[in-house]
Chain A
Amino acid sequence: MDAMAQTEKSPETAAETPPSILSVNNIEVIYDHVILVLKGVSLEVAQGGIVALLGANGAGKSTTLKAISNLLYAERGEVTKGSIVFKGDRVDARSTNDLVKRGCIQVMEGRHCFEHLTVEENLLTGAYTRGNARKEIRDDLELVYTYFPRLKERRSSLAGYISGGEQQMTAIGRALMSRPTMMLLDEPSMGLAPQLVEEIFEIVKLLNREQGVSVLLAEQNTNMALKYAQYGYILENGRIVMDGPAKELRENPDVKEFYLGISEEGRRSFRNVRSYRRRKRWLS
């Protein structure tokens, strides 16, 4: 039933954005053959853009990202409808390994560093798909250290023993070692102090600008994400309920009320969301 709302707005988004590096077309994801989690999600990431995917716990952000990197099968999940196209090629025919080689890599939620490997070894695993090109990999290691000088200091510590912020940096640095053109960042702000979140987002912005990495950023921290992204999608209960340029989303009264916590109520209850969605449809 939401398909209508989706099709209505897709032409205009397609018209005004530069060619997209990633497009997700109306996908449906089912876990364990029965649990329907994504109910038709579509989104586009423009070449060189930063796009935010926003939503509360359990909205389906991580599921969307995993669908893009083809990581779902390892969790008994499956894309049952729709298609995902990365650089003009459907991803479903490709393994994660293949996608990483083609430049699309995910930084998973919760950092997932290799705890018994040193920070530097963690970074080097990111270059796994690049084979044994030693010289270039060495150079890229230095590049990662210029973006994350703290990691250089901790290069020989076990990743299990460094701070949460450093772990997040390691995870992003590790992904960078694959020379990506598209990074899928899953809640990089999770569990970090506001100042650190800002530091990390600044670096992501730099990477986007200097290394030409397009970014799809899944976040609960709406405020922060909309500051860095150019475009945003809001995911509720497995559906995109709203999307638009970040600036507009920041100004939108509903987003203010439900996501930026500017109204008193907050946005906890599902019923609120339903009425808000209905309202949204009437308005648009």
Chain B
Amino acid sequence: MLFFIETVISGLLAGVMYSLVALGFVLIFKASGVFNFAQGVLALFAALTLVGFLNGTTPFTHIDNPAFAMPAWMAIPLTILVMVLIAILVEKFILRHLVNQEQIILFMSMVGLAYVLEGAGDIIWGSDVKVIDLGLPQGAWDWLLDTHGIYVEKIEMVAAGVAGALVVVLAIFFQKTRIGRALRAVADDHQAALSVGISLRTIWIIVWSVAGVVALVTGVMWGAKSGIQFSLSLIALKALPVLILGGFESIPGAIVGGLIIGVGEKLAEVYGGEVIVAMFGRWFEIDPGIFTATENWFAYVLALVFLLFRPQGLFGEKIIERV
């Protein structure tokens, strides 16, 4: 039983990361109808930039100069500023020119953006694997280990805590502020939003900035676990099944979808083999170890199942229809 709980917890903690990436997608999709293929690369770029500032790396030369190393309280706001700058550039050079274009054209522009950002990250900060040190605690969470015998990494708890806090802040921002309300208005009916004087350009810059901050958190948390490297950008692919589960337009959906996939992966990895053997072992000879490397495929299988039976996702926004 303890082992089961441990599995679920580690699944949830991994799931938080998936949720974060998916959140970046949902925000942008809701506000501009753009499928932001670049969210993963955005996370990579944000993390690279932060590490660059922390280490005092000179851009383009990739040489660390301790004299320029910044403390975290300076590096983090500065990185956020860079993300806002990217948002402004994306609006100015991409979105503004593609209003009213076909979905596929917008999508291709995002693929293009992903490559540009990836290249920029490479050229500016270098392609070697980087270690991020924000002074986050390492090792097991002793209290839980001592009292309940459950092993959980401290850093994973911190990551989950930060992600949770971010979600709460976003929820308040969306529900309670004037800009948040305008964002939801744009998501609902962009023509009407225009007609009451909401500027789509401003709104786009704001959502992309928010997505940039979400990307920064994702990149840092993920990078703290496994180093900051190119593979970070591939977590974007993980967001796709999360979105199919949760619905493309639902923020709670992104969160719950991420958690389900995180837990599902871990449970499948640990117990999947046994279950299959128990079910079909009588007729076939099955290697109980077939459920390995679940993080590579489980989510996609789950997404396929969902596509077959519930294509709007768990939380697909209710389509209000009236006559």
Query: Which residue numbers of A lie inside 8 Å of B, CB to CB?
Result: 69, 71, 74-76, 95-97, 99-101, 105-108, 112-117, 121, 124-126, 128-129, 131-132, 158, 160-161, 174-175, 178
Chain B contacts for A129, CB-based, 8 A:
196-197
Most interface-central of B99, B178, B192, B196 (chain A CB within 10 A): B196
| Cβ–Cβ contact A128 & B178, under 8 A | yes
Chain B, residues 132-173, CB within 8 Å of chain A (1/0): the string is: 000000000000000000000000000000000000000000
Interface status of B61 (Cβ within 8 A of chain A): no
Query: Out of A74, A115, A126, A128, which one reaches B191, CB within 8 Å?
Result: A74
Query: Out of A74, A125, A160, A175, which one reaches B181, CB within 8 Å?
Result: A125
A-B contact sample (9 more), CB < 8 A, given A114-B192, A115-B320, A116-B317: A71-B194, A74-B194, A114-B193, A115-B189, A125-B182, A126-B196, A161-B320, A175-B196, A178-B197
Cross-chain pairs A/B with CB under 8 angstroms, 9 sampled:
A74-B99, A74-B194, A75-B100, A95-B199, A108-B195, A115-B189, A116-B320, A125-B185, A128-B198
| Cβ–Cβ contact A128 & B197, under 8 A | yes
Given the known interface contacts A105-B195, A125-B182, the answer about A161 and B100 at a Cβ–Cβ threshold of 8 Å is: no
> Which chain B residues numbered 177 to 229 have a C-beta less than 8 Å away from chain A?
178, 181-182, 184-185, 187-199
CB distance from A157 to the nearest CB of B (A): 12
Most interface-central of A75, A114, A131, A175 (chain B CB within 10 A): A114
Chain B contacts for A108, CB-based, 8 A:
191-192, 195
Give the docked Cα–Cα distance between A128 and B184 (Å): 13
| Cβ–Cβ contact B194 & A178, under 8 A | no
Chain B contacts for A115, CB-based, 8 A:
188-189, 320
Query: Out of A95, A131, A132, A178, which one reaches B196, CB within 8 Å?
Result: A178
Chain B contacts for A132, CB-based, 8 A:
178
CB distance from B29 to the nearest CB of A (A): 15
Q: Which residue of A lies closest to B198 (CB)?
A: A128
Q: Which residue of B lies closest to A121 (CB)?
A: B181
| Cβ–Cβ contact A112 & B182, under 8 A | no
Q: Which residue of A lies closest to B182 (CB)?
A: A128
How many of chain B's residues have a CB under 8 angstroms from any CB in A? Answer: 23
Chain B contacts for A175, CB-based, 8 A:
196
Chain A contacts for B181, CB-based, 8 A:
117, 121, 124-125, 128
| Cβ–Cβ contact A96 & B195, under 8 A | yes
| Cβ–Cβ contact B188 & A96, under 8 A | no
| Cβ–Cβ contact B194 & A117, under 8 A | no
Chain A contacts for B185, CB-based, 8 A:
114, 117, 125
CB distance from A217 to the nearest CB of B (A): 16
| Cβ–Cβ contact A71 & B197, under 8 A | no
Q: Which residue of A lies closest to B320 (CB)?
A: A160
Give the docked Cα–Cα distance between A96 and B191 (Å): 11
| Cβ–Cβ contact B320 & A112, under 8 A | no
Give the docked Cα–Cα distance between A65 and B156 (Å): 56
CB distance from B321 to the nearest CB of A (A): 9
| Cβ–Cβ contact A125 & B198, under 8 A | yes
Give the docked Cα–Cα distance between A96 and B192 (Å): 11
| Cβ–Cβ contact A112 & B198, under 8 A | no
Counting from the closest, the 4 A-B pairs by CB-CB distance are A100-B197, A160-B320, A112-B192, A129-B197
Give the docked Cα–Cα distance between A47 and B131 (Å): 67
Query: Out of A76, A106, A131, which one reaches B195, CB within 8 Å?
Result: A106
Chain A contacts for B178, CB-based, 8 A:
124, 128, 131-132
Chain A contacts for B317, CB-based, 8 A:
116
Chain B contacts for A107, CB-based, 8 A:
195
Chain A contacts for B187, CB-based, 8 A:
116
Give the docked Cα–Cα distance between A116 and B174 (Å): 13
Give the docked Cα–Cα distance between A49 and B251 (Å): 46
CB distance from B91 to the nearest CB of A (A): 14
Chain A contacts for B184, CB-based, 8 A:
114, 116-117, 121
Most interface-central of A71, A75, A125, A126 (chain B CB within 10 A): A125
Q: Which residue of B lies closest to A98 (CB)?
A: B197
CB distance from B323 to the nearest CB of A (A): 9
Give the docked Cα–Cα distance between A116 and B197 (Å): 19
CB distance from B252 to the nearest CB of A (A): 13
Q: Which residue of B lies closest to A186 (CB)?
A: B195
Give the docked Cα–Cα distance between A105 and B189 (Å): 16
Give the docked Cα–Cα distance between A69 and B322 (Å): 28
Give the docked Cα–Cα distance between A117 and B30 (Å): 14
Q: Which residue of B lies closest to A177 (CB)?
A: B196
Chain B contacts for A71, CB-based, 8 A:
191, 194-195
Give the docked Cα–Cα distance between A129 and B187 (Å): 18
| Cβ–Cβ contact B197 & A112, under 8 A | no
CB distance from A125 to the nearest CB of B (A): 5
| Cβ–Cβ contact B100 & A76, under 8 A | yes
Chain A contacts for B199, CB-based, 8 A:
95-97
Q: Which residue of A lies closest to B188 (CB)?
A: A114
Give the docked Cα–Cα distance between A117 and B174 (Å): 11
Chain A contacts for B189, CB-based, 8 A:
112-115
CB distance from A154 to the nearest CB of B (A): 14
